[in-house]
Each structure stands twice: as structure tokens, then as C-alpha cells.
Structure 1
Amino acid sequence: MDRLFPDGRDLNRSFPGSANGSLASRVAHFVMTELVPHVDFAMDFHTGGAGRFNAAQIRIVRDNERLTELAHVFGAPFIFYSQNLNKSYRNACDKAGIPMLLFEGGKSFNIDNNITNTGVNGAKRVLHHLGMLRSKFKVSRPKVSAVIIKDSKWLRAKYSGMFKATISINSKVTKGQVLGNITDPYGSFNYFVKAPNAGYIFNVNESPIIYQGDAIFHISTEIES
């Protein structure tokens, strides 16, 4: 099922919905009235859009001990504090008192085994932690301790052109380090994109052609020590 409906509306911007609204709004209303009342805890899985590749991460609101505990149990490389988006499923669940972990990883129309395994194994750990799996069911331990990102910023393309990232996702970079370059088709122009601060790169735009203002890197600006 595509979250975009035939009329172009986004299901994840249609919550809590309406019984008499658009098709997306009606589906959102059904989810909130028929499914969510039976839910104690939710996990929502997403990928990056528009060619942007997300590092495996769990997104939660700040200062919520229960969600922080479950985010560490999940075991993704990054825990990212982010606000709930208006009319999103996550925001609707929060207002309904349903705790939710939002997983982001990979990009649309792309299968990445590492991202898939991180999501599946993380979900198993949470289910095991909540006592929803058989006691003999074995779950793997997280491979790394999560980096908690308290704040971040998007780096946007200063120019349009052909783009190539020269660092990999999950990289820890230093201020001024070259992250990628923007060129023209003839090689007469070459602009180096540099890190404005030290931090972790947890989203990379993998589109070969970009336009001025496009988001090309997501970098942490503050992490929890």
C-alpha cells in the first residue's frame, strides 16, 4: 500500500482523519477508531524519500523515559530526538497515549540488507523485552551502542549540478571535512561540500542530479554524552 492516495494526499499527513473526509482521511480515521484502541505500543517503519538514504535510526520525542528505554532496546545505531509532525500517525498515537518508536532507514524503492536486518532484529528485541515472544526465542544483541542525537541540521546544495558524496552514511566527520562535490557535465566547475561542524552524517542524498536548495546531508550538531 502506498501512503500517497490517488488524489495525491499523504496518509501520514491525514491523521486522526475523518469519517467523511478524503479517502486518505477516511483510512486514517479507520486506523484510529478501529485499530489503535486495541494497541498498547506501536512501531512505525519508514525509509528516506527522494533519493535520500537514512542511517538506521529510532526517532522519539525528548524527555520520555519509557521511549528512551525502548529505543535502546531496539538497538539502532542512532537515536534521534525529533518533534512529532502535525497530522502524522506518530502524533495521533501520542495524543491517544500510545507510545511509539519510529524507525527510519534506507531509501525508497531500495532494498538494503543491513537496514532490513537492523529493523527486523530491533523489532524482535522490543517484542522480546515486552514479553510478547516465547521465553526460548533468541534475540541478538545490538552490535553498537546508540549515538543519541539531540540536535541536527540539513546541508543544502548551494548549486545545481551533478552530485557525488565522498563520505559514507554513519560517518563521524570533522569541521571542514569534504563530504562531497557538485560539478557540471563538462568538468569546468567543481564545488566541494564541507562539514560546517563536527558530527555524524545520518542521511545522504544519493541522487546523481541535484538542484540548488536540495537537502544533501543531515548532520548532527549536538549529541548526548
Structure 2
Amino acid sequence: MTITGYSYWYDTSPRHFSLHITPLTVADKFHEQVEMKGGAWIFTSATLAVSDDFGHFTSRLGLVPKKQFSLPSPFDYPSQARLCVPRYLPEPNSNGLADKLVRMLTPVIEQNQGRCFFLCTSHSMMRELGEKFRETLSLPVLLQGETSKQKTLAEFMELGNALLVATGAFWEGIDVRGDTLSCVIIDKLPFTAPDDPLLKARIEDCKLQGGDPFQQVQIPDAVITLKQGVGR
């Protein structure tokens, strides 16, 4: 029996096959919990707002905030950080993109003495870049998935001059203090893959409600993910 409001999908690996049922939203259930518990609820994060609008976050949790506001960052980004966006790269997912990225960025990573995260938006790009950087860099190159997340991060911090090539698991929830991480490279804007089952279901649900999936679903998700990645 199929229940509306859920995404049904399956996942395969060389050794496993799994079936999943994922709710498109937890707004109703979460709103019930907020009403039952009473008291004051406070939500804070550096990445909740999109253009100073918290609607994307509050709607997914069924929240009706009494107050909401953004505070300026305590970091002096203009003097303590530099944003570089290279031009004339091949199209995303095109042949030769990984080779071009390795040729362009090897001198940057060497000059920075490692201390770098290269965050990818797909496992295939992560594996290809990891292999090619190991062929060209004189510095240690770590690859997500070769050991546990905790061990990989611990090794990165212990080495002090490594490049870590990673994907989703390292875009958020990682805090490397000091100078051990001083450069973050992102291969492309982190839009969720169009064949992701949950995204496809949310897009269809947005269309049925007369909304614009690109503006209301895909862009806010990408903006929040990008802010999380840059924040490493």
C-alpha cells in the first residue's frame, strides 16, 4: 500500500539491497511536539537563512516563529579570507574536468602546504580527483571512505599538511581548529543530483501545490549546503 506524503526508493551496493520510505516533510509531526512540550524553543545556526529569510527552514519543521533575526558574523571575512572563482572551466560532469582541476589546483595546494579540504558533489568525482592528486602531489592525500570519518579527520589533523578529498559527510559538522585547515575547495555548486529520489518527490509535490521547485526547493537547499561547505 502506498501512502501519500512519502518517497519510496531503493538503494543498491555490491553486497546490499535496501528499501526506504522517507517522509517529504516532518512539519505536522514536529509542530505537534512543539505544541505538546510548550515553553520556549530557540533554533540557532550559521546556515538556516537564505537571503535573510528563514521560511525554507521553518516551513519544513512546521514552525510559526514569534521572532526571527540574523546577526552579523564575528569574523572579518574581507581581511581574513579570500574567495576565488576560476573562469573557463569545462562544463560540470564533462570529460576532462578532473584533469583540469588537478592541473589548476596542484600549485595552489602545494603553496598552501596542504591543509586543504576538497569538497566534491559526487562520489565519482571524489574518487577520480583523489586518484589524480595522489599521482601529482608531493603531499599526503586522504580520501573519504578509506577508513572511518573520525579516523580520517584525526589523520588529517595529525599530518598537518594533507589534502582531504571528500563528499557529503565532510560538508558539515566538521570543525578543524587552528591552521591545520586553511583552504577549502568546492568542485561545483552543490545542487542535489536530479535523480535523487527524495528531491524528485519534493519537486513533484511542489509542482502539485502550484509552486516553483527550482526557487522553492533546489536553490534554498544548494545555498544552505554551500554555506555549510564554505564554513569548514
TM-score category by the smaller chain?
under 0.3
Structure-2-length-normalised TM-score:
0.25
Q: Which has the larger radius of gyration?
A: 2
Greater share of helix? 2
Structure-1-length-normalised TM-score:
0.25
